[in-house]
Amino acid sequence: MKKTLSRALAVLLCVLMLATTLIFTSAASYNDVKKGDWYEDFVGYMSKKDIINGYTDNTFRPNDFVKRCEFIKMMVEAFGLTTEADIDFEDVNSNDWYYTYYRKAAAQGFLGKIFKGTKMEPQKYLTREEAAGLLMAYLNYSKNAKASESTFADFNTISAEYKDYVLQAAKAGIINGFEKDGVYNFRPTETLRRAQAAKILSVSAGTIADKDMYDELEFDGSDNLTVTAAVTLTNIYIPGNVIISEGITNGTVKFVNCTIGGNIYDRSTANVEFKNNGDVVVPDDTESSAPDTESSAPDTESSAPDTESSAPDTESSAPDTESSAPDTESSGPETEDNDGWIGVTP
């Protein structure tokens, strides 16, 4: 009887521990992410996928600023990047928690396009135009797919090397900017915040397919799909783009009875099969090229990003090296009424 009771209690404890873990990684569990917050779904999905996580005090700290090294880590995790390149940066050392992430970003080529030279300044806060640059340099969409320069009233304040990236991101629906009285501003030199990072990564990557999926996309906050494992997708309508990650080096990715409305960017070395035994549409302009790895990257801005005077201090202790995003201080200023990345009044 005692053994039976002990086993029952052990099972119950395991269930409770699992439930606690699952609750902690949902947006609803964070003390500072409320139902109806504009970033609720984005934070929830990025937490579910273990790309941007919360803190031990059960907060997400959506208004905290994001450092360059943190966003690099988020991108690598979101798009399932695995290939590593040799790097020789003055300020990225082998004992830094972000060292491997920089190796993976360098292998894809997008890092060198945005941050040129031997100094990466990984602890520097990331500006909004830099974030757009990193993201669009990786996605490598058509250079002609750009929004009009009139999209943002402050377009001329965007650094020359980032203007095309920002317009590409706007055209792709990844960013909209700050809206007031029907006028949108991008505010390029303001610092990216954690909630905004969750939003732009969720929208650009879309549903992250790391397991077999059926009938519908897992995340309804984006039309896109990023495949990060050799999986089978069945009876799914995908309105946006599909990225098949370079992290898939073997096996077969299968699309069965799937309707794809956007482009397919196959960057893997796996087999990709389309079984057209249903009402299937596979675009003719399927992309198979990997991201551009040119080394002629634009220079970064020489001046520090324009952060608000109450910018949070960095942690005195080193960030965690686990899969969760490293902690930053929670003393960041509150976001504006019209949040900066999506242009929607919360």
pLDDT, tens digit, 9 for 90 and up, residues 272-301: 999 964 444 554 444 544 444 433 333 333
Q: For the residues 86-101, what does the mean pLDDT come to?
A: 97
Rg, the chain, Cα only: 21
Which domain-ending residue is among 168, 189, 204? 204
Task: Give mean pLDDT, residues 316-333.
Answer: 38
Same domain, 157 and 251: no
Using one digit for the tens of pLDDT, what is the confidence trace for 219-239? Answer: 999 999 999 999 999 999 999
Q: Do 106 and 249 sit in the same domain of this protein?
A: no
Strands 183-185, 178-180: pairing kind? antiparallel
Helix (H) or strand (E) holding 24: helix 2-24
Q: Does residue 156 sit in the same domain as residue 221?
A: no
- pTM > 0.85: yes or no: no
- Claim to verify: residue 96 and residue 217 sit in the same structural domain: no
Kindly state whether residues 165 and 246 are assigned to the same domain.
no
Q: What is the pLDDT of residue 100?
A: 98
> Is residue 158 predicted with pLDDT exceeding 70?
yes
- The domain in which residue 271 lies consists of 208-275
Mean pLDDT score across all residues of the chain: 80
Residue 86 pLDDT level (bands cut at 50, 70, 90): very high
pLDDT, tens digit, 9 for 90 and up, residues 116-127: 999 999 999 999
77, 69, 16, 87: which is closest to 51 by C-alpha? 77
pLDDT: which is higher, 298 or 47: 47
Q: What percent of the chain has pLDDT over 70?
A: 71
Is residue 62 domain-shared with residue 187, that is, in the same domain? yes
